[in-house]
Chain A
Amino acid sequence: MNGRPPEADELLPLKAVDFSVLLALAEREDYGYQIVQRIAEADAGGIRLAPSNLYSVLDRMIEAGLVEDRGKRAQDGRPSRRYYGITELGREVLDAEAARLRAVLRSAQRLSLKPVEAE
């Protein structure tokens, strides 16, 4: 970090796991294990992350200004947990990455790529 907040484009392309975390948090803010479970679902990337890895990822994303700590609270009778949410910059980066992926996918479709038959 050198003082100036980064532009969304400078952070592209995103790592797959960062994309999944942003996708999950764009829907709603959430806490540790819920995030692990939500990004493990197939439509959120199907990424299986151990709790310890999650916090390495969150630490990095907080540092990059994509995610923010929304404080600790108890909800629906569950034990108290720290919640994380997406920042404005996070949303911009998510949009930009989605657009980038769409473009990549379109060029793949143009070549009408098919799965290769197994040997």
Chain B
Amino acid sequence: MTRPPATGGRGLLHGAYRLIVRGLPEGFHAKHGGDLVDCHVDAWRAEALGRGPIPRLAFWVRAFASILRTVVAQRWRASRRDRGAGWNGWMQDLRYAVRQSVRRPIFTIVAASSLAIGVGANSTIFNAVNVLLLRPVPGVVGPERVADLGRTMDGRGWDTFAYPDYEDWKASVDAFESAAAFDYGTFSFSAGAEGERITGLHVSPAYFDVMGLIPALGRHFTAEEDAPGSVPRAVVLSHAFWRNRLGADSTILGRTIHLNREAFTVVGVGPAGFRGHELAFSPSVFLPMRARPLMNDGRDYFDDRGSNWHRAVARLRPDATVELAERQIGAVYARLAEEYPTTNARRGARVEPLGGVPTFLRGGLIRFLAILTALVGLILVVTCVNVAGMFLARASSREKEIAVRLAMGSSRGRLVRQLLIEALVVFSVGGLFGCVVGAWLMGVVPIDALPLPIDLDIDLAPDPVVFAQGAAVTLVVGLLFGLVPALGATRIGVARSLKEEGGRRAGYAVQLQRVFVAGQVGLTMVLLVAAGLFLRSLQEASEVEIGFDPRGAYVTGLDLSLEGYGNPEDGRSLQAALVERLGRLPGVTHVSLSDDLPLDLGSNGGVAYPEGWAADERLVADFNVVSPEYFGALRIPILEGRSFSTEDDADSDAVVIVSRRFADEAWPGEAAVGKRLRWRDPESASRTVVAVAGDVKNQTLTETGRVFVYLPLGQVYQPATQVVVRASGGLAALAPGIRAAILDVDPSLSLTPVSSLELYTGLGILPQRLAAGITTILGALALLLAGVGVYGVVALTVTRRTKEIGVRLALGADRDALLAMIVRGGLRLVLPGLVLGAAVGIGLGYVMRAFLLEVSPVDPTTLLVAALTLVGAVAFASAAPARRASSVDPTVALRAE
């Protein structure tokens, strides 16, 4: 009854699934095998067909995990049932295999450690895939029905919503059981003297229903707290914040806490286990949406269809699909586009299943993880090939034992089974060790040390799925790479092998081992090329002239609007006091405040109307608002004119500094200093250019110099600023002083942690740095393993040819020529692998193109260096056995017969 399903279910994965089903015990397979495959195909059609890559991947992971479990369980049952000769035979083989492994501890340890590296690397990356893409968001109840929503423009993009639009679609989309608006916030929480910067969410009351939450204490928000015009002063604390910051105070309900110096009454504490619906954003507090104006200088955009500012989530009805919801919401937007063409033309919305990673980041993340998965897959194959080679080498030293057993009537199948079990024992030890190594690696990943502007709170602890994957991978590679050497080793003619004294001929096993080594070399080449491309990207990045010097500068963020300094007069005098106080720290040469920093993943844009241009012509430019010492603190050269000074204040003439590129585009061939321009509004008062500054890279490393405008902080008040301190000393020594100096001015200020400007501006190349680190480690490991493989083959060949070498020497052959011959033999192993590996490496380069900076996927330097490294390693690995062979004493060698 092993018929294929009637329709559908073709393809590689379905084939693999059917193959595993064949592994069920005969009786069970005959009764249910075909129906099981039919049922699986039905499930695939209903749950995966036509879905995105994530649901499909999740489906297959589940399907393979459960079918493997069933095969093992049913086999176990069947073997228990007919506990006879069969079972005893298997147990006997297992005991023998364990004894073999213990008797050769070095072999077992080397093979198992090598496998542990392969399996461990795989588990680590799979864990990241599992945590970031597959695992449901922790704490959310019924996560499969929660949807993430984003606004589109012409069907593209993933953007924030306008509140009146949200209210319209919420009222008419019946695919949603509930829908909620939310907005991110950063608040200054004051407890005691010192302020603390915490994150939170403004949410509509339905947010908690959408996530299926039940408060641990008190209540969530009520409909009254969402009524138009109300300004509710209620707050729900996250469980972690309540526990860690407020000591799990059970009398907290009804108490007042201060956020941005506004009083809020605690009405509830969220459930334990819920840490926000996005992995990288754990809100400490939840405030009602209607409290937003309180934290936002009284600004209120609830009735403004032109302002898009909040995000939304929804819970689908049990019978509704994401597609239905999207159709319904699309119909609402079509209607709104007709009613409000000026604001709503071309607007729409997309609905996606909720994932821990925000939808707009998911595409890039999937590509990045896919590349990493491919690379760790390669290293796994390299380690497996290596271990298979080791088994083959061991088997060829046991040729005689095998031949004797065959001669005594043992069947080849029985011998293959025994060798396979021996391999599986070693693979299992390696796999187990690998999973442990992987789990340990996940524990030590310094995720907090990543220089990210947000507080990462991700639970990287591996769950059973990761261990199941590790076990499944080990089993599959163990069967595959254990079977090949077992089949190879038992393919000998009994008479021949016994006659030939286990000796001279380069047997089938050796041939197979050559193929293994060639394959290993090829895969190593692929990894070396990948590592080379990422390293070259980093090298290019470090050589890019960025126009400022982040070394020796330290940065912290400060938002005075959160601290009750809404009034510019108070804010300005506090800023002046801060600069003065920080400037008195020992070793500090410059202190600056600025609205923005270059290469920090964000930028400000505006338009300039330069003097001499037609009234309707304008120049689009990035801009920054900076204090006088900004150019010194970042070491941006002033090419002409003067920097800003403390004299440039609200009472003096309006001034501006422009970048070299701005000057060239606005007034080509003319001196820019002394010219005038209007900023943002063609009717505004004009500003005098007092200097031309050097060009800086502002958004990406690959851009050419930006058209840039600097405005003086003294004339354009900015409450939210980055404080940059240039000083000698190093971060660890300076950070406490910087912090203390700022708090000395106002102890209630809340700061972001002090970090080095280098870390901060290095954010843009974080993926390349991670990838370069990982591929370099993997490449080095692969190189080491390939070297060991080549050494093994050459050493074996040399041993087998000792007599031939002795004869040659006795006949007067030159020792150096002999040495060269053997090394050449080693290098011949490399060539096919090298060529194939380079070709695959170039292909991989094209796949990784998006992550390469200024480096072509076909980079001759990378290919050349990778090839030379590999050839060098192989020559080195074959040199030792070659030297041993060429120093053979002919008389001893000839006696070896």
Contacts and interface: CB of A to CB of B under 8 A. Distances in A.
Interface string B205-225: 000000000101000000000
A79 interface: yes
A80 B35 CA distance: 10
Interface stretch (A13-21, A50-58, A87-95, A104-112): A50-58
A15 to B, nearest CB: 15
B32 to A, nearest CB: 4
Contacts of B39: 31-33, 36, 51, 54-55
B214 A118 contact: yes
A111 B63 CA distance: 43
B67 A52 contact: yes
Nearest to B216: A118
Interface in B191-235: 214, 216
Nearest to A62: B31
A119 B74 CA distance: 42
Contacts of B62: 50
B106 interface: no
Contact of A52 (B31, B38, B46, B70): B70
A79 B66 contact: no
A70 interface: no
A100 interface: no
Contacts of B271: 118
Contact of A53 (B6, B35, B66): B66
- By CB atoms of chain B within 10 A, which of A36, A80, A81, A118 has the most? A118
A9 interface: no
Interface in A47-105: 50-56, 58-59, 79-82
B55 interface: no
B40 interface: yes
Given A56-B73, A79-B6, A51 B43 contact: yes
Contacts of A56: 70, 73-74
B69 interface: yes
Contacts of A32: 35-36, 38-39, 42
A55 B27 CA distance: 13
B28 interface: yes
A31 B71 CA distance: 21
Contacts, number: 70
- By CB atoms of chain B within 10 A, which of A52, A55, A80 has the most? A52
Contact of B36 (A51, A80, A118): A51
A44 to B, nearest CB: 14
Interface string B12-43: 00000000010000001001100110111011
B5 interface: yes
A119 B71 CA distance: 41
Nearest to B7: A79
Nearest to A74: B6
Contacts of A55: 28, 32, 35-36, 39, 70
Contacts of A50: 43, 62-63, 66-67, 70
A78 to B, nearest CB: 9
Contacts of B506: none
Nearest to B269: A118
A18 B74 CA distance: 18
Contacts of B46: 33, 37
Of the four ranges (under 10, 10 to 19, 20 to 34, 35 or more), the interface on chain B belongs to 20 to 34
Interface in A1-53: 31-33, 36-37, 50-53
Nearest to A72: B35
A54 B74 CA distance: 13
B32 A51 contact: no
Contacts of A82: 35, 38
A81 B35 contact: yes
Contacts of A37: 46
Interface residues of A, number: 20
B272 interface: yes
Contact of B28 (A51, A53, A59): A59
Interface in B561-583: none
Interface in B45-92: 46, 62-63, 66-67, 69-71, 73-74
A81 B3 CA distance: 12
- By CB atoms of chain A within 10 A, which of B35, B66, B216 has the most? B35
Interface secondary structure of A, over-half rule: helix
A82 B70 CA distance: 20
A65 to B, nearest CB: 15
A59 B28 CA distance: 8
Contacts of B40: 51-52
B336 to A, nearest CB: 36
Interface string B99-139: 00000000000000000000000000000000000000000
Given A50-B66, A118-B216, A79 B36 contact: no
A67 B25 CA distance: 21
- By CB atoms of chain A within 10 A, which of B5, B28, B39, B272 has the most? B39
Contacts of A119: 216, 272
Contacts of B21: 52
Given A32-B42, A55-B39, A118 B70 contact: no
Contacts of B216: 118-119
A118 B35 contact: no
A41 B39 CA distance: 18
Contacts of B214: 118
B350 to A, nearest CB: 28
B32 A118 contact: no
Contacts of B272: 118-119
- By CB atoms of chain A within 10 A, which of B5, B21, B36 has the most? B36
B79 to A, nearest CB: 15
A51 B20 CA distance: 14
Nearest to B20: A52
Given A52-B36, A55-B35, A33 B42 contact: yes
B249 to A, nearest CB: 13
Contacts of B32: 55, 58-59
A60 to B, nearest CB: 9
Nearest to B243: A119
Given A55-B36, A118-B214, A118-B272, A36 B43 contact: yes
Contacts of A79: 5-7, 38
A80 B46 CA distance: 17
A50 B7 CA distance: 20
B35 A52 contact: no
A83 to B, nearest CB: 10
B42 A80 contact: no
A53 B71 CA distance: 10
Contacts of A81: 35, 38, 42
Contacts of A51: 36, 39-40, 42-43, 63, 66
A54 B62 CA distance: 14
Contacts of B7: 79
A37 B21 CA distance: 21
A58 B31 CA distance: 11
Nearest to A55: B32
B268 to A, nearest CB: 12
Contacts of A53: 66, 69-70
B43 A33 contact: yes
Contacts of B42: 32-33, 51, 81
Contacts of B5: 79
Contacts of B38: 32-33, 79, 81-82
A94 B94 CA distance: 44
Nearest to A42: B318
Interface of A: 31-33, 36-37, 50-56, 58-59, 79-82, 118-119
Given A33-B43, A50-B62, A82-B38, 16 more contacts: A31-B35, A31-B39, A32-B39, A36-B43, A50-B67, A50-B70, A51-B42, A51-B63, A52-B63, A52-B67, A52-B71, A55-B32, A59-B28, A79-B7, A118-B271, A119-B216
Interface pairs A-B: 10 shortest CB-CB: A32-B39, A33-B42, A50-B66, A52-B70, A51-B39, A79-B6, A55-B32, A52-B67, A118-B216, A51-B40
7 contacts: A31-B35, A37-B46, A50-B63, A50-B66, A51-B40, A51-B42, A82-B38
